[in-house]
């Protein structure tokens, strides 16, 4: 089964301008989720950005997930929330979002963190970083072996994140990653985000 892309928005962004990029990327197909990641902005700005970008994703059957903030994710009608190890607890996020929402958890390079998240009911776990990235500081380095081990012992889907490009994504899919999280490799692609999505999808296709 082919892996799907999990797109993470760039920071900072101008919602009205980024909407065009997002539309182009999603219309290229093969995208499962969009995570809105906004740092150091007001709650109103997050809500206003959700109002612009969320319909673009949801109208195309793509889950719209907010980073860090289950309170705002619920209030804004997002499909889910992604939390880190230092954010809200899983249970706090689940209580706020409800049983039908998506709750994903960052697990860095730790099978232990992933097991705890899976036992609590997380819908996916995210491992990384797998490669150097300019998107955020890298404090944890995950390996292909981690993905392979998780695929052997667990049924909770995993997301691979961190410096992933069309050139290095296929081994992650072959190891068992169900979702490939990307940011700059999509939005900074020289031929535009739609071409970037198609290039990723071609690189990940037909993995046995």
pLDDT in tens, 141-161: 899 999 999 999 999 999 999
Say which CATH number the domain at 187 has: 3.20.20.70
Dist. CA 86–CA 162, nearest whole Å: 18
Dist. CA 75–CA 160, nearest whole Å: 28
Q: What does the DSSP 8-state code read for residue 154?
A: -
Tell me the angle at which helices 43-58 and 15-27 cross, rounded to the nearest 10 degrees.
Answer: 30
As a whole number, mean pLDDT of residues 70-94 equals 95
Looking at per-residue pLDDT, the higher value among 206 and 55 belongs to 55
pLDDT band at 206 (very low <50, low <70, confident <90, very high): confident
Q: Which domain holds residue 77?
A: 4-204
The model carries a pTM of: 0.95
As a whole number, mean pLDDT of residues 70-89 equals 95
Closest CA to 34 of 186, 196, 170: 186
| Number of domains within the chain | 1
Q: What does the DSSP 8-state code read for residue 153?
A: H
pLDDT band at 87 (very low <50, low <70, confident <90, very high): confident
Beta bridge partners of 35: 8, 65
> Which single residue is written with the structure tokens 């700059």?
184
Per-residue pLDDT tens over the stretch 19-72 = 999 999 999 999 999 999 998 999 999 999 999 999 999 999 999 999 999 999
Looking at per-residue pLDDT, the higher value among 77 and 208 belongs to 77
């Amino acid at each position: 089964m082919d892996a799907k892309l999990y797109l993470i928005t760039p920071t900072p962004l101008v919602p009205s301008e980024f909407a065009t990029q997002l539309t182009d990327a999603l219309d290229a197909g093969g995208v499962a989720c969009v995570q809105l990641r906004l740092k150091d902005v007001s709650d109103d700005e997050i809500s206003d950005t959700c109002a612009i970008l969320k319909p673009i994703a949801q109208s195309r059957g793509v889950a719209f997930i907010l980073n860090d903030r289950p309170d705002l994710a619920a209030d804004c009608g997002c499909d889910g929330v992604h939390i880190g190890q230092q954010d809200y607890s899983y249970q706090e996020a689940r209580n706020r979002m409800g049983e039908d929402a998506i709750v994903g958890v960052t697990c860095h390079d730790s099978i232990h963190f992933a097991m705890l998240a899976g036992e609590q009911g997380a819908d996916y776990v995210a491992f990384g970083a797998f490669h150097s990235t300019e998107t955020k500081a890298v404090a944890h380095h995950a390996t292909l072996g981690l993905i392979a081990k998780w695929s052997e012992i667990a049924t909770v889907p995993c997301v691979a994140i961190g410096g992933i490009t069309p050139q290095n994504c296929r081994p992650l899919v072959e190891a068992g990653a169900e979702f490939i999280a990307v940011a700059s490799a999509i939005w900074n692609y020289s031929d535009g985000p739609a071409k970037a999505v198609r290039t990723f999808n071609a690189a990940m296709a037909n993995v046995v």
